[in-house]
A and B are shown apart, each in its own frame.
Chain A
Amino acid sequence: MFPPIPNPSVSPEAAKPRFGEKDILRRSASEVTPPAERLTEVAKLIDVSKCIGCKACQSACLEWNNLHEEIGFNHGVYTNPMDLTPDTFTLMRFTEWVNPETDNLEWLIRKDGCMHCEDPGCLKACPSPGAIVQYSNGIVDFQHENCIGCGYCIKGCPFNIPRISKVDHTAYKCTLCSDRVAVGQGPACQKACPTQAIVFGTKQEMKDWADFRIKDLKSRGFENAGLYDPQGVGGTHVMYVLHHADQPSIYANLPDNPRISPIVDAWKGVTKYVGLAAMGFAAAAGLLHYVVAGPNRVTAEDEENAQKLTEGKGPPSAPPPASPSGPAGHEGRAT
Chain B
Amino acid sequence: MTNSWTDIKNTDLVIIMGGNAAEAHPCGFKWVTEAKANRGAKLIVVDPRYNRSASVADYYAPIRQGSDIAFLMGLINWCIQNDKVQWAYTKAFTNASFLVKEGFEYHEGLFTGYDEEKRDYNRDTWEYEIGPDGYAVVDDTLTHPRCVWNLLKQHVSIYTPELVERICGTPKDKFLHIAEMVGECSSPTKTMTSMYALGWTQHSKGAQNIRGMAMLQLILGNIGVRGGGMNALRGHSNIQGLTDLGLLSNMLPGYLNLPVDKEPDFATYMSTRGFKPLRPNQMSYWQNYRKFFVSFMKSMYGDAATAENDWAYHYLPKLDVPNYDILRMFERMKKGEINLYFCQGFNPLQAFPNRAKLSEGLSKLKLLVVMDPLQTETARFWEDHGVYNKTDPSSIQTEVIQLPTTCFAEDEGSLVNSGRWLQWHWPGGSPPGEARTDTWIMAQIHLRLKALYARDGGAFPDPIVNLNWSYKDPDEPTPEELAREMNGSALVDVFDPNDPTKKILEAGKQLPGFGVLRDDGTTASGCWIFSGCWTEAGNMMARRDNSDPGDTGAYLKWSFAWPANRRIIYNRASCDLEGKPWDPSRKLIEWDGAKWTGYDVPDIAPTAKPGDVGPFIMNAEGSGRLFVRKMMRDGPFPVHYEPFESPVANVIAPKIVGNPVSRVFKDDWKQFAQTASPDFPYAATTYRLTEHFHYWTKNNHVNSVLQPEQFVEISEELARDKGIALGGWVRVWSMRGSLFAKAVVTKRIKPMTIDGKIVHVVGIPIHWGFVGAARKGFPANVLTPFVGDANIETPEFKAFLVNIEASAGPAVS
Contacts and interface: CB of A to CB of B under 8 A. Distances in A.
Do chains A and B directly touch (beta carbons under 8 Å) in the complex?
yes
A260 B747 CA distance: 35
B702 interface: yes
A194 B27 contact: yes
Nearest to B55: A107
Interface string B718-757: 0000000111100000000000001111111000000000
A81 interface: yes
A73 B690 contact: no
Interface stretch (A37-45, A127-135, A213-221, A272-280): A213-221
B706 A74 contact: no
Nearest to B705: A69
Interface in B8-45: 22-23, 26-27, 29-30, 33-34, 36-38, 40
A49 B57 CA distance: 10
B50 to A, nearest CB: 6
Contacts of B743: 76
Contacts of B747: 96, 98, 105
B531 interface: no
Nearest to B707: A80
Contact of B702 (A63, A106, A109): A63
B705 A195 contact: no
Given A49-B56, A50-B56, A195 B33 contact: yes
Contacts of A194: 26-27, 29-30
Chain B, interface SS category: mixed
Interface in B191-238: none
Nearest to A73: B709
A55 interface: yes
A32 interface: no
B708 interface: yes
Contacts of A197: 33
Contacts of A70: 705
A36 interface: no
Contacts of B711: 74, 76
Given A55-B691, A59-B703, A194-B30, A71 B22 contact: no
Contacts of A59: 691, 702-703, 706
B22 A76 contact: no
> Most B CB atoms within 10 A — which of A49, A68, A105, A212?
A105
Nearest to B724: A76
Interface string A93-121: 00010100000011101000000000000
A52 interface: yes
Interface residues on B, range: 35 or more
Interface in B513-554: none
Nearest to A55: B706
A328 interface: no
Contacts of A293: none
Nearest to A213: B37
A196 B703 CA distance: 21
A78 B26 CA distance: 17
A62 interface: yes
Contact of A52 (B22, B38, B708, B775): B22
B26 A195 contact: yes
B744 A50 contact: no
A74 to B, nearest CB: 4
Contacts of B709: 72-74
Please indicate which of the listed interface residues A80, A109, A195 has the most CB atoms of chain B within 10 Å of its own CB. A195
Contacts of A56: 26
Interface in A183-218: 194-197, 212-213, 216
A5 interface: no
Nearest to A97: B747
Contact of B705 (A80, A98, A196, A212): A80
Given A74-B710, A105-B747, A50 B33 contact: yes
B34 A71 contact: no
A74 B744 contact: yes
Contacts of A216: 36-37, 40
Contacts of B22: 52, 54, 195
Contacts of B745: 76
B332 to A, nearest CB: 38
B706 A80 contact: yes
A74 B742 contact: yes
B629 interface: no
B58 interface: yes
B694 interface: no
B726 A76 contact: yes
Interface string A151-183: 000000000000000000000000000000000
Residue from A53, A63, A212, A213 whose CB has the most chain B CB atoms within 10 Å:
A53
Given A71-B773, A76-B726, A76-B743, A52 B707 contact: no
Interface in B752-779: 773-775
Given A54-B52, A71-B773, A212-B37, 16 more contacts: A1-B38, A52-B22, A52-B23, A56-B26, A59-B703, A62-B702, A69-B705, A71-B705, A74-B708, A78-B707, A96-B746, A194-B26, A194-B29, A195-B33, A196-B30, A196-B33
Interface of A: 1, 49-56, 58-59, 62-63, 68-78, 80-81, 96, 98, 105-107, 109, 194-197, 212-213, 216, 219-220
Q: Which 10 A-B pairs have the closest CB atoms?
A: A76-B727, A194-B26, A76-B726, A74-B709, A52-B22, A107-B55, A74-B742, A194-B27, A75-B727, A195-B33
22 contacts: A50-B37, A52-B56, A53-B690, A54-B52, A54-B690, A55-B707, A58-B706, A59-B691, A59-B703, A69-B705, A71-B774, A74-B744, A75-B742, A76-B725, A76-B728, A106-B55, A107-B54, A194-B26, A194-B27, A195-B56, A196-B30, A197-B33
